Amino acid sequence: MAGRVAGKVALVTGAARGQGRADAVRLAGEGAEVVVVDVCGPLPGVDYASATPADLDETVRLVEAGGGRAVAGQADVRDLEALRGVVDDAVEVLGHLDVVVANAGICIPRAWHRITPEIFRDTLDVNVAGVWNTIMVGAPHLVTAGGGSVIVISSAAGLKVQPFMVPYTTSKWAVRGMAKAFAAELAQHSIRVNSVHPTGMATGMGSGAMQAALGEAMAENPRPGAMFTNMLPVEITAPEDVAETVLFLASDESRFITAHEIAPDAGVTEF
């Protein structure tokens, strides 16, 4: 299959739906074989429904419907050894790994004084430790392949303060720094590492239940709500829009871009 990432193999976490699914389908549509991983089970503390095995099956179906190939596995990104097992097994099947998309994450919006220790811990465990685990199991395969691209999905909240999400904002600034730190050391292996910073997206994470939780926090303190306003006249974007940025970073078109923040954010971080 010809395409912008033809011949490459890409790992995508949180791939059962939403942003991860969009990334996997877009990469496969441009010729990559994809390793799609998701916990497919209850996420800690979130206000929205968790992904299921059927959701991951649907991602595989969509990849295959477009003529692509997907190897699927269930693993919690918080579990380093389980994730390593799934990735190593998939690489054995597909032969190599060229792209790592660390996408899995959670968001639990609350006013600052309603954040529990459990919410803070769970958010950092998934969003920060999970990204570290993903890179740690994926990067050795990129070294073996002679180079590649690591793409860390952060958020506009990793470039600009966003209210009512102290744990989420903390985590997204953390992985922005993590991407730069890995970029510095992995460059000797011709591995590029960049972070992606979208604005709000129409995914399960952006569902009505989460919006209700955010609205409850804003009702207590309306003024900071203006910080969510996009510069462009759109309220929300689609995961397929962000997948175009992921595709660019996965492709050789971005071969000299590393240690940068790429923001398909509708201008929210500058407004």
* Residues tagged active-site: 168
Smallest CA-to-CA distance from 239 within 264, 271, 218 is with 264
Strands (E), the chain: 9-13, 33-38, 70-74, 99-102, 148-153, 191-196, 261-262
CA distance 60 to 34: 9
- Residues 128, 248, 240, 9: is their CA dihedral positive or negative? negative
Minimal CA–CA distance to 243: which of 14, 2, 18, 9?
18
Name all contacts of 138-143 with Cβ < 8 Å and 24+ positions apart.
138/11, 138/87, 138/97, 138/100, 138/102, 139/100, 139/182, 139/186, 139/191, 141/87, 141/91, 141/96, 141/97, 142/97, 142/98, 142/100, 142/186, 142/189, 142/191, 143/186, 143/189, 143/191
